[in-house]
Chains A and B, each alone.
Chain A
Amino acid sequence: MDTIRLLGTGVLLHAKQMSRSPLEIVISLVDPLVYATLAVYLFRAGDEPHAVIEAAIGAGMMAVWVSVLFGSGGAIQKQRFQGTLELLMLAPRRPVVCFLPITIATAVVGVYGLLATLLWGVVVFGMPLDIADPAAFVIAVVGVVASLGMMGLLLASLFIMLPNANALANTLSYPIWMLSGMLLSLSVLPGWTTPLSNALPTTWGARAVREAAEGGAVWPSLAAAVGLGLLCLAIGAVAMTRMERRARVAATLSLA
């Protein structure tokens, strides 16, 4: 019960902390809007008719991933710079409980991008907001936030072990967009990528959101997304505990 309260309050406050810089929010919205626009024109130029909403959702999901990739990937480093890392570690809690709210919050902030591309579609391209199953859509988005937040925890624990994680992060936007079938369809990718796609929570999450918007069986995809997320969480939790132990040996919790 305590833990659930902590997760709730933690997500809320970290999302608040991340949302308080208008500049950062604006910067984070530019990319998805440009991608959405590009996709709309590409779809229009293409052979098959594609709905604007597909472009909006695809670009929006891309934004959620980017937010998790950079936000969660750099989460530990950021706490260290703020001087809050030691204080989080000092709390009588398992490290995973301290960091999960942060990584989930990065997914929450990513949803701003999804909302922005949907709004952009309606306002700029006169897109009718035809969501097949609005309730399922909301649940799917919440599920995706949880799933990607858990994936983010794994990223956070892996990236902290790499000396040049930010360089790696820069290379991971497009590949995950592709492998998750955000914007483009998985059927055009070479066959050997299929197992990779299937292993990513992002693939199932994007599919669930798309199915909720366009009609389709949402729940199996959403269950897969959350299930894979939980797997990431389990691995991430173990990695976090190890990381903490190592940090206490190597004295890397503080900047000084």
Chain B
Amino acid sequence: MTDVLAKFRLVGTGGVLAYRALFNWARLPVFIGTLLAEPVTQLVFFVYLGRQLGVANDTFFIVGNAVLAASKAGVYGGTMAVGNERRFGTLGNVLLSPRSRSAVFLGRALPYAANGLFVAVFTLTVGSLLFGLDLPVQSLPGIAAALVIASLTCAFFGLTLGALGLRLLDVWLVSNIAYVLLLILTGVNVPSETLPGWVQAIGDFVPVTHAAEAARLAAAGADFETLAGPLALEAAVCVGFAVLSALLLHVFEKAGRTSGSLETI
């Protein structure tokens, strides 16, 4: 029991502390500009582009971009979590900590997921108000479920990128490319069926794709059974990235300890 509690505390406070200490957006104006205002401007841009081209209706772009908004906090946050710890030389301590690594790990991801969820909800609200989108009340639980799962997936995706950043020269290159590629791969801003087959195939394995689909279905009034499919797929992607990131960190940590490159690369 105490063991469980200790683990819980580790997940909670350990995560929040790391988040506060390492997250460069902790300053309010930066947070507002980068995480709140920018996703809204992106949403507006694509709504107008969609209107001009007649590709899809406003709902398509508003809901899609709102779900995608969770990715910025996740991708950059997760990358920073690992990247900054390396930069500040604390990574070795974290990885070598005798306490359960997966608990430390989940603690790392949770704040970014929570942050992503907040950003996504904010973007959806502002976007709906701006364009007069009236979401039916019964669609909200489904949309909420999609946002929650997408936020978690994005956080683990971010940690995966951060783990890759341990190995690659530049963490920011990885996260920059990944973040902008999500614009296409997730089918949020262009209907997937118009994309080449192989792009759609990759899209199935990245965060947001299935959650965005679920959220759109919910907004269109689909019942929960219809949503269950895409939500389950998003959850599967989420677990996939959680396992992958844990595995990568573990492998690179081992390799780092033998070659001594953990602190130096």
**Chains A and B touch each other in the complex, with CB atoms below 8 Å apart:** yes
Interface check A166, CB cutoff 8 A: yes
Number of interface residues of B (CB under 8 A): 36
Interface check B52, CB cutoff 8 A: yes
The smallest beta-carbon distance between A63 and chain B, in angstroms, is 12
Q: Judge whether B37 and A170 touch: CB under 8 Å.
A: yes
Q: Which residues of A contact B189 (CB under 8 A)?
A: 38, 42
The CA of A25 and the CA of B2, in the complex, are separated in Å by 52
Across the interface, name the chain A residue whose C-beta is closest to B181: A34
Q: Which residues of B contact A42 (CB under 8 A)?
A: 49-50, 53, 55, 189-190
The CA of A168 and the CA of B30, in the complex, are separated in Å by 8
The CA of A171 and the CA of B42, in the complex, are separated in Å by 9
Q: Judge whether B34 and A38 touch: CB under 8 Å.
A: no
Interface check B51, CB cutoff 8 A: yes
Interface check A251, CB cutoff 8 A: no
The CA of A147 and the CA of B134, in the complex, are separated in Å by 43
Interface check A23, CB cutoff 8 A: yes
The CA of A45 and the CA of B180, in the complex, are separated in Å by 20
Q: Judge whether B173 and A189 touch: CB under 8 Å.
A: no
Q: Judge whether B53 and A45 touch: CB under 8 Å.
A: yes
Q: Judge whether A174 and B48 touch: CB under 8 Å.
A: no
Across the interface, name the chain B residue whose C-beta is closest to A178: B45
Across the interface, name the chain A residue whose C-beta is closest to B193: A45
Beyond A171-B38, A174-B38, whether A41 also contacts B177 by CB under 8 A is no
The CA of A155 and the CA of B118, in the complex, are separated in Å by 31
Interface check B170, CB cutoff 8 A: yes
Q: Which residues of A contact B41 (CB under 8 A)?
A: 171, 173-175
The CA of A42 and the CA of B38, in the complex, are separated in Å by 21
Which residues of B44-80 are within 8 A (CB) of A? 44-45, 48-55
The CA of A189 and the CA of B51, in the complex, are separated in Å by 10
Beyond A45-B190, A171-B37, whether A23 also contacts B170 by CB under 8 A is yes
The CA of A46 and the CA of B44, in the complex, are separated in Å by 18
Interface check B102, CB cutoff 8 A: no
Q: Judge whether A45 and B38 touch: CB under 8 Å.
A: no
Instruction: Encode contact with A along B23-34: 1 for CB under 8 Å, 0 otherwise.
Output: 000010111111
Q: Which residues of A contact B50 (CB under 8 A)?
A: 42
Instruction: Encode contact with B along A214-234: 1 for CB under 8 Å, 0 otherwise.
Output: 000000000000000000000
Among A94-102, A180-188, A203-211, which stretch is in contact with chain B?
A180-188
Residue from A38, A163, A168, A173 within 8 A of B183 (CB atoms) = A38
Q: Which residues of B contact A44 (CB under 8 A)?
A: 194
Interface check A91, CB cutoff 8 A: no
Q: Judge whether A184 and B190 touch: CB under 8 Å.
A: no
Q: Which residues of B contact A177 (CB under 8 A)?
A: 45
Interface check A235, CB cutoff 8 A: no
Q: Which residues of B contact A41 (CB under 8 A)?
A: 184, 190, 194-195
Q: Which residues of B contact A27 (CB under 8 A)?
A: 172-173, 176-177
Beyond A30-B177, A47-B54, A171-B38, whether A184 also contacts B49 by CB under 8 A is yes
Which residues of A39-55 are within 8 A (CB) of B? 41-48, 50
Interface check A117, CB cutoff 8 A: no
Across the interface, name the chain B residue whose C-beta is closest to A58: B49
Interface check A167, CB cutoff 8 A: yes
The CA of A48 and the CA of B55, in the complex, are separated in Å by 10
Q: Which residues of B contact A163 (CB under 8 A)?
A: 29
Q: Judge whether A37 and B29 touch: CB under 8 Å.
A: no
Interface check A31, CB cutoff 8 A: yes
Which B residues have a C-beta under 8 Å from some C-beta of A? 27, 29-34, 37-38, 41-42, 44-45, 48-55, 169-170, 172-173, 176-177, 180-181, 183-184, 189-191, 194-195
The 8 A-B pairs of least Cβ separation, nearest first, read A46-B53, A167-B33, A174-B41, A164-B29, A47-B54, A171-B37, A45-B194, A167-B30
Which A residues have a C-beta under 8 Å from some C-beta of B? 23, 26-27, 30-31, 34-35, 37-38, 41-48, 50, 163-164, 166-171, 173-175, 177-178, 183-185, 187-189
